A = this chain, B = another copy of it.
Amino acid sequence: MAARGGCKAVVADKWSMRVVSDLGAGPRRFTDLKRGLEGISQRMLTVTLRSLERDGIVTRTVLQVMPPNVTYELTPMGTAMLEAATPLLRWSTDYLPRITEARADYDARPGD
């Protein structure tokens, strides 16, 4: 999530959207989230979760057990965000083959 002063809209980046999507199924631990997000680094997931927590989209709960257990969960605002994002997520899944095709065409074009 990012917004500038005067920016009329906040739009999620790819990783934020995927984390929110994964948390739609219920609370998850850091390690479980990381396992589900192929290609994300430890640091990128930490930064993404901190940003979502700061924006009020997720809550972070630390259980004082051994070993320590940190769980992330969508807030009601996060749930509303996921619902609003569903058509875009569906679009991106539906159109991925056409996007891939468009990229191959573009990359095959002579430079201009």
Contacts and interface: CB of A to CB of B under 8 A. Distances in A.
Interface in A39-64: 39, 53-56
Interface in A1-55: 1-4, 6-14, 17-18, 21, 38-39, 53-55
Nearest to A37: B7
Given A9-B17, A13-B11, A99-B3, A81 B91 contact: yes
B53 A106 contact: yes
Number of identical monomers bound together in the oligomeric complex: 2
A100 B55 CA distance: 7
Contacts of A53: 106
A77 B96 contact: no
Given A3-B99, A14-B2, A89 B9 contact: yes
